[in-house]
Amino acid sequence: MERFEQLREEYQKYSFKGTILTVLYVVWVAVLCGMVSMVSWIKDAETQTGKQKVVLIMVAIGVVLLVTAIVLYKFSRKNADAIKDCMRRLKIMIVSDAADKLFSQYKYNPDRGFTDDDIGEDGLVAGNLSYSDDYLEGVCPNGIRFRRADNHIGDNHHDAWIIYDSPKCLQKPLVIRPRSVLTFKTIPEIETEDSEFNKLFRCFCEDKAEAFYALTPKLMRALIELHKNLKRLESSSVEISFVKDKVHVVLCRATNPLEVKPDGDTTREIQSAYATIELSYVKMIGEALSLQDDVKEQEPSKSEQREQQKKDHENRERWWDSAEYGDPSAAPSADEPKDDV
- Write out pLDDT tens, residues 180-200: 766 666 788 888 888 899 998
- Write out pLDDT tens, residues 13-25: 888 888 888 888 8
Q: Which of 120, 156, 149, 119 is nearest to 135 (CA)?
A: 149
Taking the chain, what is the end-to-end CA distance rounded to the nearest angstrom?
64
Give the pLDDT band (50/70/90) at residue 122: low
pLDDT over 90 at 103, yes or no: yes
Which sequence spans correspond to the domains of the chain?
4-89, 103-288, 303-341
Q: Which of 146, 105, 142 is nearest to 288 (CA)?
A: 142
Burial of 116 (0-12, 13-18, 19+ CB in 10 A): exposed
Give the pLDDT band (50/70/90) at residue 156: low
The whole-model pTM stands at 0.70
Share of the chain above pLDDT 70, in %: 72
Quote the mean pLDDT of the chain. Answer: 77
Give backbone dihedrals phi and psi of 210, rounded to 5 degrees, phi first: -65, -35
Q: Report, as an integer, the average pLDDT of 42-63.
A: 72
Q: Report, as an integer, the average pLDDT of 84-106.
A: 90
Q: Comparing 48 with 302, which gets the higher pLDDT?
A: 48
Query: Is 121 strand, coil or helix?
Result: coil
Q: Which of 217, 242, 241, 231 is nearest to 295 (CA)?
A: 217
Query: Is 244 strand, coil or helix?
Result: coil
- The C-alpha atoms of residue 136 and residue 133 are separated, in whole angstroms, by 9
Highest averaged pLDDT of the listed ranges 233-242, 265-274, 299-308 = 265-274
User: Any residues with CB less than 8 A from the CB of 236 and at least 6 apart, and which?
Assistant: 159, 230, 251, 252, 253
pLDDT over 90 at 138, yes or no: yes
